Amino acid sequence: MDYFKTRDLPTAALQLASDGIEFHGIEGSNPRNLYFLFTPRKKAEELALSFLAGKAKVNARLYADSFRRAKDIIFETERRQTTSTGLVSYANSSR
């Protein structure tokens, strides 16, 4: 699958807080070198560019909750079993 990948916590939080973006999990097992995976790639890329330009609109409360969720995912990584591909699935996690 063609994912939008980011290691940037604020960008990952924005993706988590946005409608129409699906979180597929993380790639990697080292908490200092994880990639958050999102689809559809093109929409997620456009959202990330909008965010970097200071033009993205998101509910502040939802963004703060998503930022905490992204941090929790990083901290949980050491406790999760990785698959043979190095992917850790969070597909059933609540948004």
pLDDT higher than 70, residue 54: yes
- Domains of the chain, by residue range, sit at 4-88
Rounded CA-CA distance 28/38 in Å is 15
Tell me what the mean pLDDT of segment 56-78 comes to. Answer: 91
Predicted model pTM: 0.78
CA-based R_g, the chain, Å:
13
DSSP 8-state symbol, 50: H
